Amino acid sequence: MTSPYHSLFEFHKPFAPPVSLFFYPFTPRVKEFYTPVMEIIKSFSFGGFPSKAVLCNKQELLPSDTALFVADHHTRELISLPEGLAEVTLIPGEEGKQWDAVDKILKTAMEEGLARDSLICGAGGGVVTDMTAFAGSLYMRGCRVILIPTSLLAMVDAALGGKTGIDAGVYKNMIGTFYPAEEVRICPELLRDLPLKEYMNGLGEVLKTAIIGDADLLQLLVEKREAVLARDTEILSEIIRRCILVKGALVEEDLREKGRRAFLNLGHTFGHALEAVSEFRWSHGAAVIWGTVKALEASVRLGLASPDWAEEMKSLFLGYGYELEALEDPQAILEAMKMDKKKQKGKLRYILPAGPQDIRIEFLDPDFVLEVLKVK
């Protein structure tokens, strides 16, 4: 198989050498952001739920009719709140993604007398947006929810599409619902001060999305690596738009992940297991990239993907500074994969890339998967 991106890799200047998971090639100089007026990226219908994604400036982020505001200790200060607005501040990070946090939101909503038509607004990364929407789906069997993603990962993936939930111990998102927010308000300006590790966390999902459904985005990521790492304003806005459109199209077609929405799980079955076994030493985006490499290796072994194209993708990941090898025990990772919530009739579904925008769903023998996990 000849990759349409072969010439890009052949003539592009060499990528930076691989670096560790937690240390990247350089600290980027962040350019000033242009702040747009509120602009609709697209209005969607997800399984009958109207939902729209919009770009806006910081002053437009908080809806005027918000009845309850949810954030964590890191994101609470990003948005100015009117005096007297009810709020819940959560523990940041994956370790806080448990039932106690959702219970706190629900109890506050009851104490404040929120009704079914009241609006809960959540501002934060994927953890906050997942839990806010989960609480909104439960309160009075569903109240209004608007999400304000503050991380790149949440902007391009987590906040859109209606997946909500909490973890069960170290097993990710085992308890949840499908409940799309009526609106996702995205302000690229918030990425200016995002820690580098969190920015790279989001870029993992961007790279995955490009492989799944956008040839132009993949080409942009190949050709404009330095600008992407420097958080160039125009390129970031284009990246966010394209990721929203790819994911939105798949979710409109398949809200409850019975078919092609599963493509968005590329790298996730492997990656979630690595996160669990490492007790979240691996960030989500880094684990997804590692998982995508494992999916590529499986695809090559099955004769689906070209070895040359798989190597091109690995070179792209290395060029962005991602670690492609894990020290965790392959058998432990395989055992953790058995808890994956995307099983069908007791069997794990694996999302395998056969080529750019050519994604397959396969059921694989556990012994075959173990051999793939052992590959260094």
Among residues 183, 189, 198, 257, which one is catalytic?
A: 257
197 labelled catalytic: no
Point out which residues pair with 185 in neighbouring strands.
Answer: 54
Among residues 52, 163, 172, 314, which one is catalytic?
A: 163
Alpha-carbon distance of 289 to 324, in angstroms, equals 7
Alpha-carbon distance of 263 to 359, in angstroms, equals 7
Sign of CA dihedral 283, 288, 291, 293: negative
265 labelled catalytic: yes
Q: Alpha helix locations (H) across the chain?
A: 6-11, 99-111, 126-138, 152-153, 196-213, 215-223, 225-229, 233-253, 268-277, 284-301, 307-319, 330-337, 366-374
Concatenating the DSSP letter of every residue in 148-187 gives: EE-SHHIIIIITSSSB--EEETTEEEEE--B---SEEEE-
Among residues 97, 225, 284, 314, which one is catalytic?
A: 284
Beta carbons of 217 and 209 less than 8 angstroms apart: yes
172 labelled catalytic: no
Residue 79 neighbours by CB distance under 10 Å: 18
Alpha-carbon distance of 299 to 97, in angstroms, equals 33
Alpha-carbon distance of 98 to 226, in angstroms, equals 37
Among residues 144, 208, 265, 323, which one is catalytic?
A: 265
163 labelled catalytic: yes
Longest alpha-carbon distance in the chain:
62
281 labelled catalytic: no
Q: Which two tokens stand for residue 96?
A: 């806080």
284 labelled catalytic: yes
Q: Bin 175: left if φ > 0, else alpha if -120 < ψ < 50, else beta.
A: beta
DSSP letter, residue 25: S
Among residues 52, 261, 294, 314, which one is catalytic?
A: 261
Q: Which two tokens stand for residue 326?
A: 């894990």
42 labelled catalytic: no
Alpha-carbon distance of 300 to 375, in angstroms, equals 13
Among residues 189, 205, 297, 323, which one is catalytic?
A: 205
Beta carbons of 179 and 136 less than 8 angstroms apart: yes
Among residues 208, 231, 272, 314, which one is catalytic?
A: 272
Three-state secondary-structure class, residue 86? strand
Among residues 247, 275, 294, 314, which one is catalytic?
A: 247
At which residue do the structure tokens 């960030």 appear? 283
257 labelled catalytic: yes
Among residues 10, 32, 77, 141, which one is catalytic?
A: 141
258 labelled catalytic: no
Enumerate the active-site residues: 141, 163, 205, 247, 257, 261, 265, 268, 272, 284
